Structure 1
Amino acid sequence: MTSTGTPRPPYRQLRRPTTDRMIAGVASGVGRYFNVDPTLVRVVFAVTGLLTGGIAALAYPIMWFLIPVEPADAPAWPHPVAPGATTTPTWPGPGSQPPAPPVR
């Protein structure tokens, strides 16, 4: 049966992108998945590695091995939305405006 409802964007997938990578793309993929800046993920990796004496740094090569590479024909991130669909920005960007103050 064919659905005629509103189109839904594809589900999030934890993938290592082929672009925007420093070493293997692990931090960039995790950042995209959780919708945070990949630089923040890289800093968290580094600080956690220092605080645990390097033991937490073992997580990086393990994630490198386990997280699949994004296919070359994958759409740009974030995935494009169907025309006419309304979206709310999840990150403040150049087109976003601050919320209006409450009316009393």
Structure 2
Amino acid sequence: MNGRFLINRRDAKVMGVAAGLADYTGVDPLLVRLGFVAAFFIAAPLAIIFYLVTGLVAADR
């Protein structure tokens, strides 16, 4: 686990949020991306807002 959350643009698919979250927690990026897909199906507007705000506010690596 890193000391702080950073966007990972090197391993990014869209904005680097899932890759950065995977780096921060030490979890495989595929599992984080699948979690975002599941969150989208459960609460689409909230998942989209969380992803966009995190992608715009978090610092780059």
The TM-score bracket by the shorter chain reads 0.7 to 0.9
- Size of the aligned set, in residue pairs, is 59
The two structures, once aligned, show a CA RMSD in angstroms of: 1.2
Q: Deviations over 1:58-81 (max 9, x none)?
A: 2100100111111xxxxxxxxxxx
Unmatched tracts of structure 2, length 5 or more: none
Structure whose residues are more often helix by fraction: 2
Identity %: 25
Higher relative contact order, structure no. (Cα contacts within 8 Å, ≥ 6 residues apart): 2
Q: Deviations over 1:22-64 (max 9, x none)?
A: 0111000001100001111111011111112x12222100100
- TM-score with structure 2 setting the length: 0.85
Unmatched tracts of structure 1, length 5 or more: 1-10, 71-104
Spell out structure 1 runs of 4+ moving beyond 2 A. Answer: none
